């Protein structure tokens, strides 16, 4: 896939997924900016990896992605070589005669890395930059209603936020949990009474009545591992979350 070596930078955080072992750490890559289809096409042209214009490549890519989505919705599985994708159904059926209900069940799409990406991994070098400072981080969010991880939001239902040192602490008026509209940049705060669980390693909140759109998740706290930090720390999740 690549003629050159690649480099990913990462910081170490306490490993909250193995709470029985308090002495180990996990690496979290330093997130580069998210690139769109258009920017990917422009990058391919600038690197000399495309023999057509960026606009032509973008048009063809959008046609491909649109058709792929259509076939996924028809129940086909997809294998591009770089990733595989298929539809799944989330939710419990109480009996053999129960039918699908959008109130109890959800269709989700499942993606896994393909063979070409597994080969490309061999060309990646990782630079560990040491312990992250501050150590607060959002590592994973799960939309409880849909089961979607790091992707969908269901307003009015619970969201599990797993991380390190994310307990909402301090008396600062701005402390709390926010959803930020990526277009309008408006911030919607989760009311204190909608914070179901407030722990250093997990927050469970009721998602506000957000309109359809794309959102950043932000946590502002002074959690300093059993002590208050001198000033508030702002943590922004590096995945964009979607209300459909």
Q: What is the dihedral of CA 91, 95, 99, 105, to 10 degrees?
A: -10
Mean pLDDT of the 14-18 span:
77
Report percent pLDDT > 70 for the chain: 92
Nearest Cα residue to 90 out of 144, 142, 147: 147
Listed ranges 33-42, 76-85, 162-171, 215-224; the one with the highest mean pLDDT: 76-85
- CB 84, CB 112: distance < 8 Å: yes
Q: Say what the pTM is.
A: 0.70
18-27, 187-196, 214-223: which range is least confident on average?
18-27
């Amino acid at each position: 896939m690549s003629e050159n070596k690649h480099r990913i930078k990462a910081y170490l955080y306490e490993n909250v997924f193995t709470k029985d072992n308090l002495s180990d750490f996990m690496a979290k890559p330093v997130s580069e900016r998210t690139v769109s289809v258009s920017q990917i096409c422009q990058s391919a042209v600038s690197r000399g990896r495309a023999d057509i214009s960026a606009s032509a490549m973008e048009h063809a890519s959008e046609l491909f992605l649109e058709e792929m989505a259509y076939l996924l919705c028809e129940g086909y599985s997809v294998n591009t070589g770089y990733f595989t994708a298929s539809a799944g159904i989330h939710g419990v059926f109480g009996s053999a005669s129960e039918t699908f209900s959008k109130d109890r069940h959800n269709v989700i799409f499942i993606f896994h890395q393909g063979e070409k990406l597994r080969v490309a991994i061999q060309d990646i070098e990782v630079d560990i930059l040491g312990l992250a400072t501050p150590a607060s981080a959002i590592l994973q969010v799960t939309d409880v209603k849909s089961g979607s991880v790091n992707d969908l939001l269901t307003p009015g239902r619970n969201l599990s936020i797993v991380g390190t040192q994310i307990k909402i602490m301090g008396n600062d008026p701005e402390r709390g949990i926010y959803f930020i509209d990526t277009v309008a940049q408006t911030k919607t705060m989760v009311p204190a009474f909608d914070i179901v669980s407030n722990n250093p390693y997990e927050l469970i909140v009721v998602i506000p009545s957000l309109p359809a759109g794309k959102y950043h998740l932000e946590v502002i706290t002074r959690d300093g591992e059993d002590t208050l930090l001198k000033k508030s720390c702002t943590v922004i999740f590096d995945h964009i979350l979607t209300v459909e």
